[in-house]
Every structure is written in structure tokens, then in C-alpha cells.
Amino acid sequence: MDFAYSDEQQMLRDSVRRYGEEHWNAADRLKTLAAGPEPAKRRWAEMADLGWLMLPIAEADGGLGGTPADVMAVMEGMGRHLMTLPYVASCVLVPALVGGSDAAAALLAGIGAGEVLAAAALLEADGGYDPCHVATAAERSGDGWRLTGTKVHVEDGADADRFIVSARTGGGTDEGDGIGLFLVDRAAAGLTIGRFRAIDGHRHARLDLNAVDAIAIGDVQGAAPVIGAAVDRAIAAQLAEAVGSMEAASDATLDHLRTRHQFGVPIGSFQVLQHRMVDMVVAGEEARSMLYHATLNLRRGADARARAVSAAKVRVAESGIYVGQQGVQLHGGVGFSDELIVSHHLRRQMMLAQAFGNADHHRSRFARLGGGPGGEE
């Protein structure tokens, strides 16, 4: 696909890379993860000062109104340096869910200023990756609402101050109609948060809600289309992260092949290893092309957008796992160690491949929406 960053986007991309090299270098990654959430909070405040947190928020909501391509430029740098920050969850997904709502104005202002972390609780245990499978109930309580149910795998939700929770106000569990979005404070009575760290260092959560007070956001009956568009936007951002990670893993592997000697010569001089290195680069370029395809289709109609995102999600996940595995193997046995960054890139690729739907889920969605020869608009 023919795409090129504008001068401003290239400057943004370069600035994120420089920031990553200074504050998220591979040599200090283990120390950063072991230090807990405090260093991440400091980095989050720095990113707020740089304006990156306001970038995905619409101008009407007090943000900078950045385009999907702007967000892509930021996420490539974050992926390259494996920044374990909730940027997609808090700055991309949540603003896309609640933007334009008066009830969320203070929330978005807090996110943009770096004072509030937010996460979206959209999935339930029996629903797989389907955000329209909602059993969590929302019932009227005076002028507000009360939520009862359980939400699983809240992406980057362990340290969130606010949660956007999908709950059902009508209809059956698997129906698209009757779903609303609600704002819940982490200190709300009746809310239990189960926190856990995934293999890539990101901190997620599970929410158990027992008659928890909540504020309605937007249409309490028709939030399904909003959720679909917001999730696709979040997926596209993570695709950019995956591509940045692939590029970094390939660079680290190439550097290893050039410097590691065997039989008196660099192992990169062995033709079979050169071929494998080329395959890694080709896989990364295929993923980049699909990333562009998904990002540039985000503003099309719902079906065209969803098909483009699902197609890209499948291919980028496959390429990411392949590049990560090859990088580890070409480093030899030491490639599995925590001390080498390629093992961290593989772990992140494994988690990105599952986030917001695995390959089987997106193949099914692509087929259901009429994907295949002649299926694209």
C-alpha cells in the first residue's frame, strides 16, 4: 500500500523513538518492570507534558484531535521500545468510547492531563472476544444506575482510576441492542478488582461488580456500534505497536548475526541464516502494509472498517509471532533469557496476538462480513 508519513508525523515518530531510547532502553527493562508502577507513573506524566496523551482525544473533547495515522506514528515507537504503559487502553480506546458525552468531559480532561488512568471493561467469561455478549446488568437507582456482573481481562486495567463498563439495560445476553456504557470509579462500593501481570509485563484486571453505582455515558440502549468502532481503533493502534516491535526484534537479530562469530567468521555470513533474516524482514514489511490498510480504513463504513481491521489483525499476528520466534532462535539458547530483549518482543507479540480477538475470531468476523474475493468495497 502506498503510504508515507507527513513531515509532522515523521517528527512525532522520531521523537517517540528518541524518548524510548532514553527512558525505555532494553538494558534497564528488567529493572523498570521490577520497580512496580511508580516509574511508569513518572513516564506517564512526562508523556502528558509532551502532549501525547491528548493526541487521540477529539478537539471537541479538549484534545488535539490526532488522526489514526498520528496515533500509528506514536505506537510504532512504543512498540519498538516495549513501553509497558496503558496508552491504547486509556488514551485510544476510552476516548473513542465516551467522546462527545457531557458526562465524560472531566474524565477526558483528566486523561489528557495525565491525572487519570482509564480502562474499558467490555468482555465476559462466556462471551469469548464478543463485546456484544453482555450479561452484566444495569438497573436504575434513583437518578443513577447500579451494575451487577463480572468483567474479565480488562486490558491494562490494574492501575486504572476509572472504568468504562458495558452493561445490559435490555434484550438478551447476545443481542446487540440493549447495551449501554457506564462510568465506574475504582473506589466504588461493591467493586472488587483482581489484578494480574501478563507475561509481557502489562498489568490487567478482572472486575466483580455487586450493585456498583455508575454514571451512564451516552445512549444506554445503543452502545454496540460505538463499542465496535472504538475496539477497531484500539486494534489498529496495537497493530502499529506490533510492527514497531517486529522492526526492533529484526534489528537486534541482525546486529547479533553481524557480531557473533563462529569458525572465525560472523554467523551472518552463513547463507542459510541470511535467508532466515530476509524472511523476518519480509514478514515485517507484510505486516506494515496490512497496518496501513487497517489504519486508512478506520473512517470508512462499519463493515468495510471491520473487514480491513480483521484482515490486518490476522496477518500482523502471524507475522509478529514468526518474527519473534525467529529472533529468539537465531540468538541460540540465550535468546530465551530475560536478559535479551528479543525474548521480551516475542512475549509481547504473543499477547498482542490475543488482544481484542485472536486469529480465529477475526477470520470468522471477516468471513461473516462478506470477506474474500470481491468482498471489499
- Give the per-residue pLDDT at 372: 57
- What is the domain count for the chain? 3
Query: What span, in angstroms and rounded, lies between the C-alpha atoms of 45 and 328?
Result: 34
Query: What is the domain-level CATH number for residue 200?
Result: 2.40.110.10
Cell of 275: 535467508
- Side-chain half-sphere of 157: how many Cα atoms within 13 Å? 26
C-alpha cell of 223? 452502545
User: Does the pLDDT at position 374 exceed 60?
Assistant: no
The position carrying cell 514468526 is 322
For 106-121, the DSSP string reads: HHHHHHHHTS--EEEE
Same domain as 158, residue 293 = no
Is residue 190 assigned to a domain?
A: yes
- State how far the Cα of 145 lies from the Cα of 158, in Å rounded to an integer: 24
Boundary (domain end) residue, out of 89, 113, 137:
113
Are 134 and 199 in the same domain? Answer: yes
In-domain check, residue 1 = no
Three cell numbers written together for 270: 552463513
Of 221, 241, 271, the last residue of a domain is 221
> Taking the chain, what is the end-to-end CA distance rounded to the nearest angstrom?
16
Same domain? For 178 and 279 the reply is no
Q: Write the pLDDT tens digit of every residue in 205-262.
A: 999 999 999 999 999 999 999 999 999 999 999 999 999 999 999 999 999 899 887 8
164, 51: one domain = no
State whether 214 and 343 are in the same domain: no
Domain that holds residue 351: 225-368
Q: Note whether 14 and 65 are same-domain residues.
A: yes
Burial class of residue 363, CB neighbours in 10 A (0-12, 13-18, 19+):
middle
Q: Using 50, 70 and 90 to split pLDDT, how confident is the model at 288?
A: very high
Instruction: Tell me how far CA of residue 100 lies from CA of 55, 231, 267, 330, in angstroms.
Output: 16, 17, 56, 49
Domain shared by 270 and 293, yes or no: yes
What CATH number is attached to the domain comprising 11?
A: 1.10.540
**Beta bridge pairs of residue 205:** 154, 195
Pick from 189, 221, 253: which residue ends a domain? 221
Task: Tell whether 2 is covered by a domain.
Answer: no
Residues 56 and 84 grouped into a single domain: yes
Q: Are 221 and 178 in contact (CB under 8 A)?
A: yes
Reported pTM: 0.95
Contact 327, 250 (CB under 8 A): yes
Q: Is residue 58 part of a domain?
A: yes
